[in-house]
Amino acid sequence: MSEQANQSKPVVAEDKKGDKVQLLRIQQAHNGQRVDNFLMREMRGVPRSRIYRLIRRGEVRINKKRCKPEKKLQVGDQLRIPPYTGTESREVAKLNPGLRDFLLDNILYEDEQVLVINKPSGLAVHGGSGIRLGLIEALRQIKPDWKQLELAHRIDRDTSGCVVVCKNSICLKHIQREFKAKTINKTYLAMVHGSWPKEIKAVDAPLEKSEVKEGEKVVRVNESGKPSYTAFTPKEYFDGATLMEARPETGRTHQIRVHCQHAGHAILGDERYTQLHAAPQFRSLKNLCLHAWKIEFSLPERAEKVSVEAPLEEQLEGFIRSLKNSQ
């Protein structure tokens, strides 16, 4: 099938106010894709914060109805995209050779449907809100023939480790269904402040997302929030810190970080959620000590599961080694 046949074809129309809007009919290639992810690609360079604002205001509509960012597109849907000025649009940054080589060297698994990459900390999974180049944009530059390349899920910019990227819409829908059904196994490594009590085997605390100044997201434990559950297992104890295995059963924003803070043992290097009484020797840490270590998932029409483990970044591995040597 040609690339043109895979694309949604825009029609320009006028709304009741006389503004010109784009009406796109969703094709098979984008079936099951989140509307926010679709718009970030379609409205290339427009800040992510503005796209979310357009959705919240009801200016983006599916079949003439308001929608939420996580709404999944279906074949035949009519998507309304409001007019937006080019002044807010920024070109995607060009991929530098160093990052290109790093990403190619850190593909942990790849077949005809999917790839799993060991994302470095500091690299966002996608661009927007002042970020001109994210993981997905970089991969599209590396492999421009991968026309349907999309993120299957997200991890925080400062978190390193496994990220699953799908090469076609069938695989994307399948893995998104698995995430929704909670059949994908994810294990993180987190270095936390203090000595984690062995009796705390899980944190079951609802999370609510809010925004503070300049659009910065902050997540808090709140009874009115969404149900959130993370299982924890101490892996190794150090002087003033504990290396933890964390297994989130839900996928809320900053879930592991906030649950660790809620348990009284914030993650080392987490400037947003670290408590003031953290051990002095760790307060100068700037890198978040959180790593998406393992992931296990199934693929369409394949019996065996894919299981991938991401090696620690050199900096985090060196930090753990220094803690061991100081004991």
**165-169, 229-233, 271-275 — most confident range:** 229-233
pLDDT of residue 131: 72
Is residue 242 within 8 A of residue 194, CB to CB? The reply is yes
225: alpha, beta or left? (left if phi > 0; alpha if psi -120 to 50): beta
pLDDT of residue 129: 61
- Under CATH, domain 181-325 is a member of which superfamily? Pseudouridine synthase (3.30.2350.10)
pLDDT of residue 273: 87
Please identify which of the residues 156, 204, 239, 270 carries the catalytic annotation. 156
Mean pLDDT, residues 128-145 taken together: 84
Tokens of 99: 């990052």
The distance from CA 122 to its chain's CA centroid, rounded to whole angstroms, is: 13
CA dist., res. 63 & res. 66, Å (int): 9
**For residue 21, what are the β-bridge partners?**
13
Of 321, 317, 309, give the one whose Cα is nearest residue 118: 309
323: alpha, beta or left? (left if phi > 0; alpha if psi -120 to 50): alpha
Q: Are strands 78-81 and 61-62 parallel, antiparallel or unpaired?
A: antiparallel
Report the helix count and the strand count for the chain, using DSSP H and E.
8, 17
Tokens of 199: 């009796």
Q: Could you report the per-residue pLDDT of 239-253, keeping only the tens digit for each?
A: 889 999 999 999 999
Task: Tell me if the pTM is above 0.85.
Answer: no
Of 201, 129, 117, give the one whose Cα is nearest residue 160: 117
Mean pLDDT, residues 85-95 taken together: 61
Same fold, 97-180 and 181-325: yes
Sign of CA dihedral 16, 18, 19, 22: positive
Q: Is 156 a catalytic residue?
A: yes
Confidence of residue 3 (pLDDT cuts 50, 70, 90): very low
Q: Where exactly are the structural domains of the chain?
A: 3-86, 97-180, 181-325
User: Which of residues 119 and 215 earns the better pLDDT score?
Assistant: 119
* Percentage of the chain exceeding pLDDT 90: 57
Res 2 pLDDT > 90: no
CA dist., res. 15 & res. 18, Å (int): 5
Count, residues in the chain: 327
CA dist., res. 171 & res. 76, Å (int): 19
CA dist., res. 249 & res. 260, Å (int): 15
**For residue 192, what are the β-bridge partners?**
242, 267
Q: What is the CATH number of domain 3-86?
A: 3.10.290.10
Mean pLDDT, residues 312-324 taken together: 89
Tokens of 172: 């994307």
**Tell me, what DSSP letter sits at residue 73?**
P
Chosen CATH of 97-180 out of 3.30.2350.10, 3.40.50.720, 3.40.50.1440, 3.40.228.10: 3.30.2350.10
User: Which of residues 7 and 323 earns the better pLDDT score?
Assistant: 323
The alpha helices in the chain, defined as continuous H runs, are: 3-6, 35-42, 48-56, 97-105, 135-142, 169-181, 255-262, 314-325
